[in-house]
Amino acid sequence: MSFFAILCALLIEQVRPLASRNPVYGGVLAWTRWTSRNFDAGKPHHGWVAWALAVFVPTLMTLGIHWLLVFTLGLPFAVLWSIAVLYVTLGFRQFSHHFTDIRDALDEGDEPLARSLLAHWQGVDAADLPRSEIVRHVIEHSVIAAHRHVFGVLAWFSILAALGLGPAGAAFYRMSEFVSRYWTHKNGAAIQPSSVSVQRAAERAWHAIDWLPARITALGFAVVGSFEEAIDCWRNDARRFPSENDGVILAATSGAVNVRLGGGALSPIPVADPLPRAQAGDSMGGGRTDSGSTPGREPEPGHLRSVVGLVWRSVVMWMVLLALLTLARLLG
């Protein structure tokens, strides 16, 4: 039933996207704050305790409700629960409005507006950014957002659902990503910043959790794009990016649509309270130390449409694969 749950969640999310300010996100933020406030004592083992509580408690609650519904009300109600969980953890509309607004501004030739929108989205200084660099940064941020909001969630949901764990995988992946991002943001807070230990625990756990989904996403981009070029760029240029997992995805994207990615980083804009940006799903902004660029054409607005096509073809491919697996299971 994973296919039907994912399909319904994606359709509902397209028709009625979840607002960035909602009770579910507010509860997750409050829980994450509570765990760090009460268990982040600065020692390495404290960091792992805080991370485990922040991530596993919501995951186990999701799993417990799934099993309760299966054994009391039946499978149809468990599927409805999976749809609900996927609706709040998966979806393009959680970030695509940023991409669309910047693309429209570039299509209209309004580069100052495009720079302003990019700066607002990522919290960076984009005042002197040339047109090609605006496009490059939009592609990089959008592809990573698509992976973390869609493909990574799909991967963990599908794997654990096949093991009978319902939507626990979706909750586990999104909580792991949010906790890592939140505690990095919280490090810049004026009051009670997160300790190095809790940041390292969250970062190490997130790297391990995202290792397989990142490669699944990269493989999907290679299959629906220029396969040989994507694999070659993946093999030779992924190390140009500071994050190993993100580098695999960006290198595959670069080869799949023949666009140059990587290069200079943008400086973050200091903010008094970075926590609302973390809750809204924004990335850190700046802080990267890329070592050179991938091969490919200079980024131009036409590449934005190519990336949109790449992402949607990849979604269709994975949905078709899930449909075939579901059909085989029903017939077998």
Rounded Cα gap, residues 214 and 176, in angstroms: 14
**CB-side neighbour CA atoms (13 Å) of 204:** 11
Is residue 82 within 8 A of residue 12, CB to CB? The reply is: no
Q: CB count, 10 Å around CB of 326?
A: 14
Rounded Cα gap, residues 110 and 231, in angstroms: 35
Question: How many domains, the chain?
Answer: 1
Across the chain, mean pLDDT equals 87
Distance of CA 216 to the CA centre of its chain: 13
Is residue 326 within 8 A of residue 1, CB to CB? The reply is: yes
Q: Find the range with the poorest average confidence among 35-39, 121-125, 277-281, 320-324.
A: 277-281
Name the token pair of 196: 């190095």
Rounded to 5 degrees, φ, ψ at 124 are -125, 165
Give residue 243's domain range: 2-331
Query: Each residue of 273-331: pLDDT tens digit?
Result: 444 444 444 554 444 445 578 888 999 999 999 999 999 999 999 999 999 988 888 88
If one compares 96 and 157, the residue with the highest pLDDT of the two is 157
pLDDT bin (cut points 50, 70, 90) of residue 267 is low
